[in-house]
Amino acid sequence: METEARLTRLASCAGCGAKVGAGTLAKLLEDFKTRTDPRLIVGFEKSDDACVYVVNDDTALIQTVDFFPPIVDDPFLFGQIAAANAISDIYAMGGEPRLALNLLCVTEQMEEAWIREILRGGYDKAYEAGVIISGGHTIRGSDPLYGLAVTGFSAPDQIKKNAGAKPGDVLILTKPLGVGILTTAAKAELVPDQLMEKIYHQMATLNKAACSVMKKYDVHSCTDVTGFGLMGHSCEMAQGSGCTLHLQVDQIPYHKEALEFADMGFVPAGAYRNRDFAEKNTRVSGTIPRPVQDILYDPQTSGGLLMAVPEKEAAAIQNELSAEVPCAHIIGYATEKEEYALVLEGDV
């Protein structure tokens, strides 16, 4: 869709780069008085992607919410990306998304046609995912915002937590990194249109196919890589699982063009927040230049799934994923807990 809308100029930050840092969130939630319920098998304690409440022996309810400022100017595409990003949390838990509510903040500068296109984009992506948008809430504010509160379902014993990785597991990532850096450089009109079309398509792509493959196997742990970057989300997985994750940097897929822009300094603010959180829990083994590390800390919008899978099933999962998700790649492994939660390995 061709549009003269410049949504990104109306926002002070963009996409998942707008997320409050993981370390800050932990401090904000300290010492809150909360109720407990044995049916709530996943809450916020392990920083998981969604909460899970067991309804009965066969059904668990999965709930999540995600919204952010525009990362693209095209309103329809913004709606698609925001919806895909929100729905992804259900896929990361191994669930089937079914219901959603719109969350929308509009500004005085936004034309009615832009607002309609944002919502149309969200409905389009929800329809693709098999999700019914059954209502929502709209307010006025200083920055445009859009996203969804999503409800999904799963059998209780099929839930994939981010805290289930085991020593010996192999790590698989399903989408390449570098989205935050490239969208930052795109604001300065330095990124070719053809490359950005590729990035936009990636962000608008559901993690549905990857989740479908994952559910066929005994995957121990899963999370989606979004605003906290690969390093932040890997750190949460490692700490929650009580193990150490070794990331083989030369095997991690990323958009090569992002390396040049990272070297030029086009690194979103969220990457520095992610570094503040994860770097102190990371040991670097090898020679890994700063721009490559920037890509690992780069906040991703609607990123891929990070799975911890049994070594004996890794090849089969990788082979099946390759047919549906060509960028999926084995990027590391888990060990018993070491001094650091993460180890970056390799010379690149």
What is the CATH number that goes with domain 7-158?
Answer: 3.30.1330.10
Q: What single DSSP character describes residue 42? A: E
Residue 27 pLDDT > 80 = no
Looking at 16, 105, 211, 243, which residue is catalytic?
16
Residue 3's pLDDT band, with cuts at 50, 70 and 90, is very low
pLDDT at 28: 79
Q: What's the rounded mean pLDDT across residues 231-240?
A: 96
13 is known as an active-site residue? no
Residue 34's pLDDT band, with cuts at 50, 70 and 90, is confident
Computed over every residue of the chain, the mean pLDDT equals: 93
pLDDT at 1: 40
Structure tokens at 78: 């913004």
Residue 19 pLDDT > 80 = no
- With beta carbons less than 8 A apart as the criterion, state whether 87 and 186 touch: no
- pLDDT higher at 25 or 123: 123
- pLDDT higher at 250 or 32: 250
Architecture (CATH level 2) of domain 170-345: Alpha-Beta Complex (3.90)
CA-to-CA dists, residue 263 to 182, 259, 290, angstroms: 12, 6, 8
Residue 88 pLDDT > 80 = yes
Backbone angles phi, psi at 280, to 5 degrees: -70, -15
The pLDDT tens digits of the residues spanning 189-206 come to 999 999 999 999 999 999
- With beta carbons less than 8 A apart as the criterion, state whether 166 and 307 touch: no
* HSE value, Cβ hemisphere, 13 Å, CA-based, for 173: 23
pLDDT at 56: 97
**So where are the chain's domains?**
7-158, 170-345
pLDDT at 48: 80
